[in-house]
Structure 1
Amino acid sequence: MICNSARARAKSATAVGSRTIALIATAALLPVVSAQPGVDSVARLDFPIADGPFDPNWESISANHPGTPEWFREAKFGVWIHWGPQAAGRSNDWYAKHMYLEDHPAAANHRKNFGHPSEFGYKDVLNQWRTPKFDAQRYMQMFHDAGFRYAVVMGVHHDNFDLWDSKHQPWNSVNVGPKQDLLGAWAKAAREVGIRYGVSFHHEYTWWWWQPAFGADSKGDKKGVPYDGLLTAADGKGQWWDGLDPRQLYGRPLEGYPEYEPVHLIAHGREGIFEKHLPYAEQYATQWAQRIQDAVEQHDPDFIYTDGNSSQPFSGKKSGSGYRCDAAQRVVADYFNRTLERRGKIDTLAIIKFSEPRTGLASTSESRVPAEMRADRAWMGELAIGGWFYEPGFYYDAGSVVRALLEFASRDGNFAVSVPLTPEGGLDPGAPEMLASIGEWMRVNGEGIYGSKAWKVFREGDRTLPRGALGKKQADFEFTTEDLRFTVGKDSALYVWVLTTPEPGAEVRVASLGKAAALLEEEPARVELLGADAEVEWSRDEDAMTIIYPNATGLQHAVGFRITP
């Protein structure tokens, strides 16, 4: 039942809910609105940061950071642990928001499994979330055996629910739901297994992302009945959430910005400052930062990661819309100063998804393979198997993961792949088999991956792994012996990768290694097939190096040749 005090706010909620769906359908057609006045001024926040040489500006950070730590290139291949309570919706990514969009499939799933969001909202999903199959130690060992050498562990997603014993967010996994410090369990397991790990933070744009939670159905029996986003602490008296304030989870309605509507899509075609809510914006950005500082203080990660499609958090543009301030600079400076104090050296980095090239920062390429090589900075590709949160029916294929790794490594990037966990913290039956197959491949071919860098060219052939989450489409995509990738191993050998397994006797023609290409500094003397003892026949003329694939058995997914002078 909806409480009377929340029902009194139904008029505002109805206005939001009645226009949301129609505007979503036309959002892509809306014109880009120029930023509001104040977008060019940067608010200087004053929350404390650790003492040290790093001042809260990009110039000081770049000047004092020694550069990307060696372990990051050495690790090369990572696992993305993108798991939290949104998996309980079994509706893939962004379930927490989509359940409040009445015509979205996730909303139908929620109503079928839990009830109407006016009576059973996302806060109640959090309360019922249990993780009896979760075993961080077992999974980290599986990940290590699969060849992963670092882990990206989600600390908080857009749902604003911290997955550690948070000092600044009472809506966390120790207080609500599983009653466990999940981030702490992952960090402990990573240290014990010997995997580097970082923590990802996705809560920068929670405040506008959550706006549908303040709406209501525009039709049907529940038309006009407000969703639970409008509840307050006073409404919780006698309820399971007595003592918790839903406003600390959902934020508050951001009204009065018709030029940005729908506000929850402001990052896609609109941008600007919530100038009617500047005191709230300052408080929000400060708490955003303090939560990251808290996680760093408790778990000492090897890197921190912030999500978004803007150049930095709180940039005033795209996902950073709403407020323009130096919270990101302060957080990064604090992190590096803490690193220096604890470790006596800087061997950490900050991954800011679409950041400009700066010393100490890395970027990412999500769900797509870049068209070109990127050797000017540290970066990683990131793909999810099936989707970023669990949904039944995901397709598990080791070959897709291997070929994705080669796509990113040949372009000088790292690669982290999200292996989905079920709501209960388990793995689908196909996942262990996939991980075991990836591990077998890495044990054979890892010498050309770990610590590798891009060569002078990164590819031959015109086929690229299709963009998007890894699934049957990517598994069924056909590569040929013309589709080649290149890396230079830390042993300085050149590795030529064929994105398929050739038939015995097949010719692999490598035009980039022909004499006319003039790309080799020394005459090649030996060609070896990784994982096989058979001698490899090869020849080289002006046009190409031609390799005859030997009668080798047991190799799968993709094969690598080691070329040495």
Structure 2
Amino acid sequence: MGIARMAQAQGSAPQAPAPYTPPPARGPFTAAVDSLRASTVPAWFRDAKLGIWSHWGPQAVPRQGDWYARFMYVPGHPHYDHHLKHYGHPSEVGYKDVIKLWKAERFEPEALMDRYVAAGAKYFVSMGVHHDNFDLWNSRHHRWNATQLGPMRDVVGDWSRAARKRGLRFGVSEHLGASHNWWWPSHQCDQFWPKLGVAYDGAKPENADLYHEPHNTPYLNRGGDWYTTNPKFHEIWYRRIIDLIDSHQPDLLYSDGGIPFGEVGRAAIAHLFNTSVRRNGEMQAVYNHKALGSGEFIREVGVQDVERGVLEGINPLPWQTDTSNGDWFFSEHDRYKTPAQVLTMLCDIVSKNGNMLLNVVQRADGTLPPESDRLLTEMAAWMAINGKAIHGTRPWKVHGEGPTEAAGGAFKEDTAYTPQDIRFTTRDDALYALTLGEPKGVVNIASLRSGNAHESRPVRRVELLGAGPVRFRQSAQALQVDVPERLPSRHVSALRIAFA
């Protein structure tokens, strides 16, 4: 009997495993908080304003939406019922078998990237790995990856080449940090006949590198935590994220949560920043993380990400909303945002010093559903006329005016704006006023009334983008602008205002 087993036999608690210590940093940034705080957000991100995200992978195959891989192991959930009906019981046919059905046979990244550029994207983000623990690149440390199963291609690499060919900055998203606890249901079993007590395929030892070794730490909505304290998984996470960074040299890395695992996560950020310095001669990388749930949130490190929501007012630091035009993965039951909803939300975000990272839903085969196709078409038409009021802009002295204000915080994005809601941006000494709706007759801008507290210079010229100069009057109540009956663009109109 070894010493450890003797200690346990005598009633003492087993020793906790030693924490994983990542390798020392190679470059000016280290895992120390103060070192990472010395980073600044690069100008390219502040100028970009709009990124397109491909939140895409095997979970699109069943056409049931987000978190299919998890909830197919939760009896009573619609995903479980769907899986039982269409694929079989999860003790026999599990998520590992769904992965093999993802062929991406009509995936054309070059053609899609042309659509994204036309729609106004200045950066593109590829899913790197979702909570399902399936890597979308030629992963050195994980056999469950897209070059070995499913599409049999390096999806991240294909996206990277298409984006960079068109001058876009390229990013990757990692959701791997939560995977260990997220997969907990796959280790369980039914509590009823005819499969009472029959373990799901996630409990089988031969599948442990996909579903993780069985453990008793459920995801937080069942009393557990988003991130595991298991140092063995910390090392797995670190090695794979470093491989993702080294393989594809992203300009942006997104983590779905706070910074994972303390020093381990901060070491990965330092590696991202240091590789950017070596590649560019200066730090040009962005790290996204959330002030939500588990992990560290350090406001001065990288860029705060707000899932499906906005911040209130003009934030002094650049930030980002991540959202989708539908569910995160394709669902045949989806309810999609309209182009008007996406564009008005974008204008509100930009007026507050933020960026929008927009997932455009794809089917499993790589094609776009009609709603995504329509969104990109209408965004391209709008950006061709109004893009100069978005790209390269900065906030004004106030973000906007009008009867409608979005609530601040995550998961609060169902705001219905009116043409009387106006948002401001500035560029090249001009002020842009964006109406969050299609105006009729006269646009009244109270913030620019004569004698206002924001701008002492009188208005010299007002131009409706896409139509040219328009008549205006500056009174004690408002700047009143006459707009033509036929507007040059739908959804949002942009006025360029010059001062004497």
| TM-score, L = length of structure 2 | 0.90
| Unaligned segments of structure 1, at least 5 residues | 1-40, 234-245, 258-262, 315-324
Question: Taking structure 1 as reference, are residues 363 and 182 closer, same or farther at Cα in structure 2, changes over 3 Å only?
Answer: same
Aligned twin of 2:324: 384
Give the CA deviation at 1:298.
0.9
Using the alignment, how far apart are the partners of 1:195 and 1:146 within structure 2?
A: 13
Q: Alignment partner of 1:252: what SS?
A: coil
Aligned twin of 1:286: 235
Aligned twin of 1:31: none
Q: Deviations over 1:415-443 (max 9, x none)?
A: 11110110111111232232121011111
Using the alignment, how far apart are the partners of 2:219 and 2:342 within structure 1?
A: 33
Q: Is 1:399 equivalent to 2:340 in the alignment?
A: yes
Aligned twin of 2:6: none
Using the alignment, how far apart are the partners of 2:324 and 2:227 within structure 1?
A: 32
Using the alignment, how far apart are the partners of 2:480 and 2:110 within structure 1?
A: 46
- Tell me whether 492-501 or 547-556 shows the greater mean CA deviation: 547-556
Does the Cα contact within 8 Å between 2:102 and 2:151 map onto a contact in 1? yes
Aligned twin of 2:400: 459
Q: Deviations over 1:3-41 (max 9, x none)?
A: xxxxxxxxxxxxxxxxxxxxxxxxxxxxxxxxxxxxxx9
Q: Deviations over 1:300-324 (max 9, x none)?
A: 111111111x4x212xxxxxxxxxx
Q: Is 1:527 equivalent to 2:462 in the alignment?
A: yes
Q: Alignment partner of 2:457: what SS?
A: coil
Using the alignment, how far apart are the partners of 2:184 and 2:350 within structure 1?
A: 39
Give the CA deviation at 1:224.
1.8
Give the CA deviation at 1:407.
1.4
Using the alignment, how far apart are the partners of 1:461 and 1:269 within structure 2?
A: 42
**Residue identity (%):** 36
Q: Is 1:434 equivalent to 2:389 in the alignment?
A: no
Give the CA deviation at 1:445.
0.7
Q: From 102, 105, 109, give the equivalent of 1:132.
A: 105
Give the CA deviation at 1:397.
2.5
Using the alignment, how far apart are the partners of 2:359 and 2:122 within structure 1?
A: 14
Does the Cα contact within 8 Å between 2:424 and 2:434 map onto a contact in 1? yes
Q: Alignment partner of 2:219: what SS?
A: helix
Question: Taking structure 1 as reference, are residues 379 and 272 closer, same or farther at Cα in structure 2, changes over 3 Å only?
Answer: closer
Question: Taking structure 1 as reference, are residues 351 and 43 closer, same or farther at Cα in structure 2, changes over 3 Å only?
Answer: farther
Number of residue pairs the alignment of both structures matches: 477
Using the alignment, how far apart are the partners of 1:110 and 1:118 within structure 2?
A: 11
**1:235-254 map, 5 Å:** 246-254=207-215
Give the CA deviation at 1:250.
0.8
Aligned twin of 1:297: 246
Amino acid at match of 2:209: Q
Q: From 175, 179, 196, give the equivalent of 2:169.
A: 196
Aligned twin of 1:29: none
Q: Alignment partner of 2:64: what SS?
A: coil
Does the Cα contact within 8 Å between 2:325 and 2:372 map onto a contact in 1? no
Does the Cα contact within 8 Å between 2:163 and 2:169 map onto a contact in 1? yes
Using the alignment, how far apart are the partners of 1:129 and 1:102 within structure 2?
A: 24
Aligned twin of 1:182: 155
Q: From 51, 59, 63, give the equivalent of 2:34.
A: 59
Q: Deviations over 1:109-166 (max 9, x none)?
A: 1122211111100111112221111111111111111111111211000011100010
Using the alignment, how far apart are the partners of 1:211 and 1:351 within structure 2?
A: 26
Q: Is 1:484 equivalent to 2:418 in the alignment?
A: no
Amino acid at match of 1:543: Q
Does the Cα contact within 8 Å between 1:164 and 1:181 map onto a contact in 2? yes
Q: Deviations over 1:488-535 (max 9, x none)?
A: 12x1211111111122xx2221111123431114221111111113x4
**1:370-381 map, 5 Å:** 370-374=311-315, 376-381=316-321
Q: Alignment partner of 1:89: what SS?
A: coil
| TM-score, L = length of structure 1 | 0.80
Q: From 72, 79, 92, give the equivalent of 1:106.
A: 79
- Tell me whether 514-523 or 54-63 shows the greater mean CA deviation: 514-523
Does the Cα contact within 8 Å between 1:49 and 1:331 map onto a contact in 2? no
Amino acid at match of 1:564: A
Using the alignment, how far apart are the partners of 2:406 and 2:60 within structure 1?
A: 27
Using the alignment, how far apart are the partners of 1:273 and 1:136 within structure 2?
A: 33
Give the CA deviation at 1:468.
11
Amino acid at match of 2:299: P
Q: From 211, 219, 231, give the equivalent of 2:192.
A: 219
Runs of 4+ more than 6 Å apart: 41-44, 465-470
Does the Cα contact within 8 Å between 1:130 and 1:177 map onto a contact in 2? yes
Using the alignment, how far apart are the partners of 1:115 and 1:346 within structure 2?
A: 50
Amino acid at match of 2:424: F
Question: Taking structure 1 as reference, are residues 413 and 306 closer, same or farther at Cα in structure 2, changes over 3 Å only?
Answer: same
Question: Taking structure 1 as reference, are residues 482 and 196 closer, same or farther at Cα in structure 2, changes over 3 Å only?
Answer: same
Does the Cα contact within 8 Å between 1:160 and 1:250 map onto a contact in 2? yes
Q: Deviations over 1:430-488 (max 9, x none)?
A: 32232121011111111110011111111212325699999xx96xx754332111111
Aligned twin of 1:356: 298
Give the CA deviation at 1:272.
9.6
Q: From 418, 427, 438, give the equivalent of 1:501.
A: 438
Give the CA deviation at 1:562.
0.8
Q: From 40, 44, 51, give the equivalent of 1:78.
A: 51
Using the alignment, how far apart are the partners of 2:277 and 2:369 within structure 1?
A: 41
- Tell me whether 142-151 or 54-63 shows the greater mean CA deviation: 54-63
Using the alignment, how far apart are the partners of 1:273 and 1:85 within structure 2?
A: 23
Q: Is 1:142 equivalent to 2:142 in the alignment?
A: no
Using the alignment, how far apart are the partners of 1:413 and 1:227 within structure 2?
A: 43
Aligned twin of 2:138: 165
| Unaligned segments of structure 2, at least 5 residues | 1-15, 292-296
Aligned twin of 1:327: 264
Using the alignment, how far apart are the partners of 1:47 and 1:482 within structure 2?
A: 53
Q: Alignment partner of 1:495: what SS?
A: strand
Using the alignment, how far apart are the partners of 2:241 and 2:97 within structure 1?
A: 25
Q: Alignment partner of 2:150: what SS?
A: coil
Aligned twin of 1:4: none
Q: Alignment partner of 1:392: what SS?
A: coil
Q: Deviations over 1:231-256 (max 9, x none)?
A: 122xxxxxxxxxxxx1111112322x
Does the Cα contact within 8 Å between 1:353 and 1:364 map onto a contact in 2? yes
Give the CA deviation at 1:396.
5.7
Using the alignment, how far apart are the partners of 1:385 and 1:481 within structure 2?
A: 22
Does the Cα contact within 8 Å between 1:44 and 1:326 map onto a contact in 2? no
Amino acid at match of 1:284: F
Aligned twin of 2:294: none
Using the alignment, how far apart are the partners of 1:440 and 1:269 within structure 2?
A: 48
Amino acid at match of 1:369: V
Using the alignment, how far apart are the partners of 2:25 and 2:275 within structure 1?
A: 6
Amino acid at match of 1:252: E
Q: Is 1:343 equivalent to 2:285 in the alignment?
A: no
Using the alignment, how far apart are the partners of 2:227 and 2:393 within structure 1?
A: 43
- Tell me whether 362-371 or 209-218 shows the greater mean CA deviation: 362-371
Using the alignment, how far apart are the partners of 1:224 and 1:402 within structure 2?
A: 50
Using the alignment, how far apart are the partners of 2:270 and 2:18 within structure 1?
A: 17
Q: From 536, 548, 554, give the equivalent of 2:470.
A: 536
Give the CA deviation at 1:42.
13
